[in-house]
Amino acid sequence: MKQIYLEVTYRDGRPYVAYLYLPSKPEEKRHRCRRVEPGMILDINKEGKLIGIELTAPKMVTLEAINGILTEYGMPRLKDSDLAPLLAA
């Protein structure tokens, strides 16, 4: 995947869980996970690169929290529009 992609799963019209796919090569696979608060699980490849973020509590997650994680891993910050489907629900 070459660009950021947000997938949101809804239950009863509300976001239940979401996954933020980050730019990675198709052959890159999750090697380990790291749980962070509030309600995020980071998927990290064998080289230590962040390849995705599972949002297990979408209503608790903020743009600032995600951007803090992205900054920690040396990745570009997101804009409001990148999370618009999640924030609009």
Query: For 11-52, how does the pLDDT look when each residue is reduced to its tens digit (9 = 90+)?
Result: 998 889 999 999 888 788 899 999 998 899 999 999 999 999
Beta bridge partners of 15: 10
Range scoring the smallest mean pLDDT among 2-6, 44-48, 83-87: 83-87
> What is the separation of C-alpha 15 from the centre of its chain, rounded to a whole number of angstroms?
14
Contact 40, 50 (CB under 8 A): no
Strand blocks (E) in the chain: 5-11, 14-21, 32-36, 40-44, 50-55
